[in-house]
């Protein structure tokens, strides 16, 4: 009989409140363009809103990635040496990962290690994937590389690692930083390990702008929740009615940018971060970047960061690629 999955969780958090406060001070206290790291968008409220975004008709990215996994998971896992341990960076609810885990579990018992800074996302992941036979789930509430280091340290002799980075999160890095991140992942891996990388491909700019500024306002709520989170956690007095969500396309960098625009001259106090922020009307806080790729640049990314691109699968309905990188 197949072995019933086992679930455990391991969690000192991915960052401390002091870390968060330091990054708020650094990002909002700087002269010129103010910034907040996109990782802080994903508290319990933000993670739930992002799940809704993924279901919106305008946001085709998530469905494209999932379609590729549903259609090609058996072919993907056939390219892997077994036994393999699966580690997913930024797992979210794990819904899209089911196809891979089910395909792998037909070949072997699988240990699946979702790594996410959101405790709520890991809880949803356990609910989503907790009933798959022959899959053991061990969640890590960690930053990507910290969690991956722990997974790699626990692997048994002869086990391969398959790292999943599926949702085009690589696009949150600018291109040089993205290459450096892939190199950091490669330093943790052994030759013969694999990385399945999702990349959102270039498409008409109006489609991209609509994907990040939907008519229902869910993405706007997701973005504004970052200020609400700072209010909750640091006793700040951001008035959300004095900000609006704005999306921009940077043609030179080939990226979508999400901003929060101050609609008035205002002063905001953040007591627990020991900071007062003054914003002019029209000034923005930059919260996220989403770089878009063309298919021809993905394989060279693999070579530059210590892999070879073994195979690619491309969705035609919403141009998106899943690429299997093998560690050299």
Q: Residue ranges per domain, the chain?
A: 7-12+57-203+292-327, 42-56+208-291
DSSP letters along 256-267, please?
A: EEEEEEESS-EE
Contact at 8 Å (CB) between 138 and 111?
yes
Contact at 8 Å (CB) between 144 and 77?
no
Please, what sign has the CA dihedral across residues 96, 190, 182, 153? positive
CATH architecture for segment(s) 7-12+57-203+292-327? 3-Layer(aba) Sandwich (3.40)
Task: Report residue 134 as tokens.
Answer: 């022959």
The answer to whether the peptide bond before residue 58 is cis (omega within 30 degrees of 0) is: no
Q: Which of 162, 105, 93, 104 is nearest to 129 (CA)?
A: 93
- Rounded Cα distance, 218 and 59, in Å: 11
**Per residue of the chain (328 residues), what is the pLDDT tens digit?**
233 333 444 433 457 899 999 999 999 999 999 999 999 998 889 989 998 999 999 999 999 999 999 999 999 999 998 899 999 999 888 889 999 999 999 999 999 999 998 888 888 899 889 789 899 999 999 999 999 999 999 999 999 999 999 988 999 999 999 999 999 999 999 999 999 999 999 999 999 999 999 999 999 999 999 999 999 999 999 999 999 999 999 999 999 999 999 999 999 999 999 999 999 999 999 999 999 999 999 999 999 999 999 999 999 999 999 999 999 9
């Amino acid at each position: 009989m197949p072995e019933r999955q086992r679930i455990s969780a391991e969690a000192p958090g991915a960052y401390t409140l002091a870390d968060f406060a330091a990054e708020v001070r650094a990002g909002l206290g700087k002269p010129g363009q103010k910034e907040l790291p996109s990782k802080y968008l994903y508290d319990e409220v933000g993670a739930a809103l992002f799940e809704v975004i993924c279901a919106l008709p305008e946001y085709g990215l998530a469905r494209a990635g999932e379609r590729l996994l549903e259609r090609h998971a058996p072919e993907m896992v056939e390219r892997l040496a077994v036994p393999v341990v699966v580690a997913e960076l930024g797992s979210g609810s794990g819904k899209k990962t089911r196809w891979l885990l089910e395909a792998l579990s037909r070949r072997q018992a699988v240990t699946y290690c979702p790594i996410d800074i959101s405790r709520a996302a890991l809880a949803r992941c356990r609910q989503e994937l907790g009933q798959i036979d022959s899959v053991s789930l061990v969640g890590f509430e960690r930053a990507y590389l910290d969690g991956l280091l722990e997974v790699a340290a626990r692997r048994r002799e002869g086990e391969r690692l398959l790292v999943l980075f599926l949702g085009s999160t690589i696009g949150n890095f600018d291109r040089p930083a993205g290459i450096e991140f892939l190199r950091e992942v490669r330093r943790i891996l052994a030759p013969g390990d694999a990385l399945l990388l999702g990349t959102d491909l270039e498409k008409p700019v109006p489609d991209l702008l609509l994907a990040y500024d939907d008519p229902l306002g869910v993405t706007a709520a997701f973005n504004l929740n970052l200020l609400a989170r700072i209010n909750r956690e640091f006793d700040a007095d951001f008035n959300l009615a004095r900000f609006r969500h704005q999306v921009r396309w940077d043609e030179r960098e080939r990226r979508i940018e999400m901003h929060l625009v101050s609609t008035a001259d205002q002063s905001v106090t953040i007591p627990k971060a020991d900071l007062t922020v003054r914003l002019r009307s029209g000034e923005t806080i930059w919260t996220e970047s989403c770089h878009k790729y063309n298919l021809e640049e993905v394989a060279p990314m693999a070579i530059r960061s210590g892999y070879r691109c073994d195979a690619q699968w491309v969705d035609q309905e919403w141009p998106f690629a899943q690429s299997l990188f093998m560690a050299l």
